[in-house]
C-alpha cells in the first residue's frame, strides 16, 4: 500500500506499508535506487510467502511508475491525457 510520493533532485521516495490479511507487517521507504528496490522486493517476498521474484519486481516498478506519473501530473497542473 503506497503512500504519498515525494521527489528530490536526486531520487523518488514512496512510503510503503506491507499488509497481509489486513495486518501491517512492515513499513518501508521505496526509492528508485537499485539497492533499495532489491531490499523492498526481498521484503515483499518474505511477507508474501509464495510471491515470485518477477512478480515482486513488477510490483515495485509499477509503484514507482505510478508515483512518478502522479508527481508529474501535479507539477503540470493536471492529469496527462
DSSP per position, 46-73:
HHHSS--HHHHHHHHHHHHHHHHHHHHH
Q: Which three cell numbers stand for residue 57?
A: 519486481
| Pairs from 36-40 (Cβ < 8 Å, separation ≥ 24) | 37/64, 40/16
Give residue-wise pLDDT tens across range 26-56.
999 999 999 999 999 999 999 988 778 899 9
How many CB atoms neighbour CB 29 within 10 A? 12
Q: Which three cell numbers stand for residue 61?
A: 516498478
Is the overall model pTM greater than 0.85, yes or no? Answer: no
Amino acid at each position: 500500500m503506497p503512500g504519498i510520493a515525494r521527489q528530490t533532485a536526486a531520487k523518488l521516495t514512496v512510503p510503503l506499508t506491507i499488509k497481509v490479511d489486513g495486518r501491517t507487517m512492515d513499513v518501508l521507504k521505496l526509492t528508485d535506487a537499485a539497492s533499495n528496490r532489491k531490499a523492498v522486493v526481498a521484503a515483499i517476498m518474505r511477507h508474501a510467502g509464495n510471491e515470485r521474484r518477477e512478480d515482486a519486481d513488477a510490483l515495485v516498478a509499477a509503484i514507482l511508475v505510478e508515483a512518478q506519473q502522479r508527481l508529474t501530473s501535479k507539477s503540470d497542473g493536471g492529469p496527462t491525457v
